[in-house]
Amino acid sequence: MSDSIASLTLSSVVLPLETPVSDAKVLTGRQRPLTEVVLLFVEVTTADGLQGTGFSYSKRAGGPSQYAHLREIAEVALGQDPSDIAKIYDSLLWAGASVGRSGVATQAIAALDVALYDLKARRAGLPLAKLLGAHRDSCRVYNTSGGFLQASVAEIMEKATASLEAGIGGIKIKVGQPDWRTDLERVAAVREHLGATPMMVDANQQWDRARARRMCRELEAFDLVWIEEPLDAWDATGHADLSRTFDTPIATGEMLTSVPEHMALLDAGYRGIVQPDAPRIGGITPFLKFATLAAHAGLALAPHYAMEIHLHLAAAYPTEPWVEHFEWLNPLFEERVDIRDGRMWLPERPGLGFTLSPRMRELTVETAHFGAPRR
């Protein structure tokens, strides 16, 4: 007899950052510095006593909306077989059909979707990557958190050195200064400091097409692994044109919130690096759908943020990916990722391989419980 979902617990968590960070969107006046991350956690328990945990997140806005939407529709999952992940996903989509199938609507479902995959792998006694069918036991890893624009070049160099000494394999820094010459000066200084270490830059969507072409041409000299989001995230044609014009790969996709939005890149003839984000695209279910299509198109993969989830998904991608290292979420989990020799290694623990910390409970601002009473 099949198992069933007996209860769900939703938690809204507000995680403050030690230091506010700024990227190009702040310097252009479009956003305020980032001071906190709001997360939606879902804990699933089945009638047989199995458990799984997943999360989604939002920066600057959307966290309370994700929580509110899932709170409205979560009961639909009760009583369903937790192995029927695709069926449950569709039932949640239909329960909230009036708000669409992208953005907050699917980012809310993502937390539950991730939890069901975590549960399924835990039940099998396997790390999630092994359940999906891993191609490797580790992935190349790069650090972003030390390269934001509020940091001086000296601070970036100091943090980059510390990251490399801690086993990180590549360094990404932000660009998109109001004066493009400042960008080139900063990139040149950091490149000289790093030597042959793999290096990436990220403009966070703040160039128009003319400026992006000029900057990509100037940046060719620095032997970068990629130039990220040179254009508006939804400018699929522009990104595709840049990816076919320059030798340095173009990377984009982190802001897109559905498979169709990602597919617009492929339809436009994009030849760069795709950066889907499982919580943003709507969960592991849609992430895997797009990853299959991206692999078929021969595209490289570098998932955005949420390394606790993306390490597993990257390990299951056919070609060698990069995983982004952010230590911001560390306080929420008991375990730490294993980083050495420029790579992030899969945990041997089942599921995602992480358990929630007491600090996560302390940072919880709202909870909702559905189904059987909590034990």
| Residues noted as catalytic | 174, 304
Dihedral of alpha carbons 127, 78, 288, 322, sign: negative
SS3 38: strand
d(Cα 175, Cα 186) in Å, to the nearest integer?
Answer: 8
DSSP 8-class letter at 356: B
Paired strand residues for 112: none
β 199-202/300-301 pair status: unpaired
d(Cα 121, Cα 356) in Å, to the nearest integer?
Answer: 17
**Binding site members:** 23-25, 59-60, 172, 202, 204, 228, 254, 324
CA dihedral 52, 54, 327, 324 (to 10 degrees): 110
d(Cα 213, Cα 230) in Å, to the nearest integer?
Answer: 9
β 199-202/226-228 pair status: parallel
DSSP 8-class letter at 127: B
**Binding site members for Mg(2+):** 202, 228, 254
Dihedral of alpha carbons 322, 35, 334, 128, sign: negative
- CA dist 90 → 76, 171, 333, 368, 369 (Å): 10, 39, 30, 22, 21
Q: Which amino acid is at 299?
A: L
SS3 110: helix
3-state DSSP helix/strand/coil percent for the chain, to nearest 5? 40, 25, 35
| CB burial string 309-328: b at 16+ within 10 A, e below | bbbbbbbbbeeebbbbbeeb
**Binding site members for substrate:** 23-25, 59-60, 172, 204, 324
